[in-house]
Amino acid sequence: MARWLGGGNDVTTTNLDLWPIGNCQVSGLVDRSGRLVWACLPRVDGEPVFPSLLSGIEAGDDKATGVWAIELDGVAKTEQSYIRNTPILVTRHEDEHGNAIEVTDFCPRYTSNERIYRPVAFVRMVRPVSGSPRIRVRLRPTRGWGNADVTTTAGSHHIRYVLNDESVRLSTDAPVGYIQEERLFRLEHPLHFFLGPDESFSTALMPACMRMLHDTTGEWQHWVRGLATPYEWQDIVIRSAITLKLCQHEETGAIVAALTTSIPEHADSGRNWDYRYCWIRDAYYTVQALNRLGALDVLESYLAYLRNIVESAKGGHVQPLYGVLGEAKLEERIEDGLVGYRGMGPVRVGNQAYEQIQHDAYGQIILCNVQAFFDHRLFRMAGIEDFEALEAIGDLAWEVHDKPDAGLWELRTRQSVHTYSAAMCWAACDRLANAAHKLGLEERYHFWQDRADQIHATIVEKAWRTETQRLSATFSGDDLDASLIQLLDLRFLSPQDKRYRATLYALETGLRRGTDMLRYDSEDDFGVPHSAFNVCTFWLIEALYLTGRHEDARTLFEEMLKRRTAAGLLSEDIDPTSGELWGNYPQTYSLVGMINCAVLLSKPWQAIR
């Protein structure tokens, strides 16, 4: 996929047109002018060393900090694309006189000495393509969330940047003085930049970078080769799967909801949240989608992460989210050193939702784990001990299924008994019954199935509204909420169930805005929402297809695909009127939606025979 754009410092990123790179340890976002505008160290939830995305100053501005740009003098056109089946980005710049350069950006990730090598490092390689191009390198890291200057020292082939408690080193075969003074110079041969640990480069830089590029390309393409992609929309599915993989902190198996913090849900909304943590809910949807493609490595790593969470859970209680190392305390604060995306602060770090009560997490824990009782492909299948540990989670799901919580949308000032949360508690008990039956524990099977049946009856009784002939999002009101669409995916109701069809009709009528679906249309902590939530539209597409509206589903899916960025991705939210993307990016929910719908709607592989 490629896009030609006007060049120069006047280009602005108004629609989150950003290209992720990463290695499952660190990640970065490159804008459509080829500038690295977001990257955190030493991991995705660390302090940003390149926070230009949230600085409120266009990255091309001479005053911009927190940016790493390799610029062609007089650039007129820019083209960007990924190396096939990888997150390795190639950006080609050309001026009006035919001078051109090509910049390759990636984070090394490959197998070495029988283990994955994924350093806290970024590699940039620039080569002349035609003519006599002149370039300028602007490397301006920051520290303290934009509040403090960075001290530098230099050697003959490196520049050292002193951050807070650590330093990073740029090793390069480019003239160091040109980089320090940001001078224009002729690019007469390929140059290489390795920004990583503050250590001397032990080998020649050029062959080392070339080897890293070769091995990283092979590693990603080998991983993609193992995916069971649908016949149609393969490129879309592969790009979504690669990006979901980038959202996994491979060291522990945690899966973060997005690579960014504080991109507002819509303009000046104040709905700015830090999504660089592992939500039990989001991770469930991620592994569910990747399982459909056969990416079992993500599931296995995440299950190891979950086992640590379950073991540390007090009385079976599970938080809605944790840090990538399993940290339970994620105190939320505002960083004033950055004014926010396009000046729309605040910039939040941490997320107070870790203190909330969200009962759906119990179901998602068990839904993720239950596959391990059945899937013989896994290196470690689940057994009796795992089942007994999960029963503590199931006990709590049973206890709270009809109790108020903050719900999946994490309302901060009110609680209700949410139908979606109750249904997830039902799923916890229902799937525990399945696991017990698989293990031959018939007494436990009947025990959990009885609980599941009781919760099911309670939900149908408490959530159904005779007056409006639909299910309500809460037991106490008559609320429309797109989460009710998920009752089908959970197998709580069947596609033929008249109650489900009536609820789906009400949801589509009340929450659909053209191509897009709102989460809800009632006032919340911040007023009435203005943006649509992309995954809700994908939920609608699945429901339309499964209830027999195949053409409607396909048409809506094709429309949603037009909303993607040049990189082929989506953020969390979208403006139903302008089509502008908002919210943290790239967002796992939205990528999951594209994968699930493509798998569901695609023609079978037999169609090519």
CA atoms within 13 A on the CB side of 439: 23
Read off the pLDDT of each residue in 66-84 and give the average, rounded to a whole number.
Answer: 97
Q: Judge whether residue 3 has pLDDT over 70.
A: no
The pLDDT tens digits of the residues spanning 413-464 come to 789 999 999 999 999 999 999 999 999 999 999 999 999 999 999 999 999 9
pLDDT digits (tens, 9 = 90+) for 247-259: 999 999 999 999 9
Check whether 29 has a pLDDT greater than 70: yes
**Do residues 501 and 507 touch, judged by C-beta distance below 8 A?**
no
What are the distances in angstroms from CA 368 to CA 300, 409, 425, 441?
10, 20, 14, 20
pLDDT tops 80 at residue 525:
no
Predicted pLDDT of residue 149? 81
Candidate from 191-205, 313-327, 482-496 with smallest mean pLDDT:
313-327
This prediction's pTM: 0.95
Asked if pLDDT for residue 84 goes beyond 60, the answer is yes
HEC-encoded secondary structure of 151-184: EEEECCCEEEEECCCCEEEEEECCCHHHHHHCCC
Q: What is the pLDDT of residue 591?
A: 98
pLDDT band at 153 (very low <50, low <70, confident <90, very high): very high
pLDDT at 528: 79
pLDDT at 9 over 70: no
In angstroms and rounded to an integer, the radius of gyration of the C-alpha atoms of the chain is 25
For residues 469-477, average pLDDT: 96
pLDDT at residue 4 is higher than 80: no
Write down the pLDDT at residue 5.
Answer: 35
Read off the pLDDT band of 317 (50, 70, 90): confident
pLDDT at 202: 80
Strand partners, 100: 94, 130
The domain locations on the chain are: 5-203, 480-604
pLDDT digits (tens, 9 = 90+) for 568-604: 999 999 999 999 999 999 999 999 999 999 999 999 9
pLDDT at 109: 98
Q: State residue 122's pLDDT score.
A: 98
pLDDT at residue 526, rounded to an integer: 72
| Amino acid sitting at position 479 | D
β 333-334/581-582 pair status? unpaired
How many CA atoms lie within 13 Å of 111's alpha carbon, on the beta-carbon side?
Answer: 7
pLDDT of residue 310: 87
- Could you give the 3-state DSSP secondary structure of residue 241? helix
Q: Does residue 283 surpass a pLDDT of 90?
A: yes
CB 138 within 8 A of CB 67: yes
pLDDT band at residue 165 under the 50/70/90 scheme: confident
Q: Is the pLDDT of residue 13 over 60?
A: no
Closest CA to 310 of 296, 302, 445: 302
Mean pLDDT of the 210-216 span: 98
Give residue-wise pLDDT tens across range 115-148. 999 999 999 999 999 999 999 999 999 999 987 7
Grade residue 384 by pLDDT with cuts at 50, 70 and 90: very high
* 502-518 confidence digits (pLDDT tens): 999 999 999 999 999 99
Mean pLDDT of the chain: 94
Q: Outline where 490-565 has alpha helix (H).
A: 498-511, 534-546, 550-561
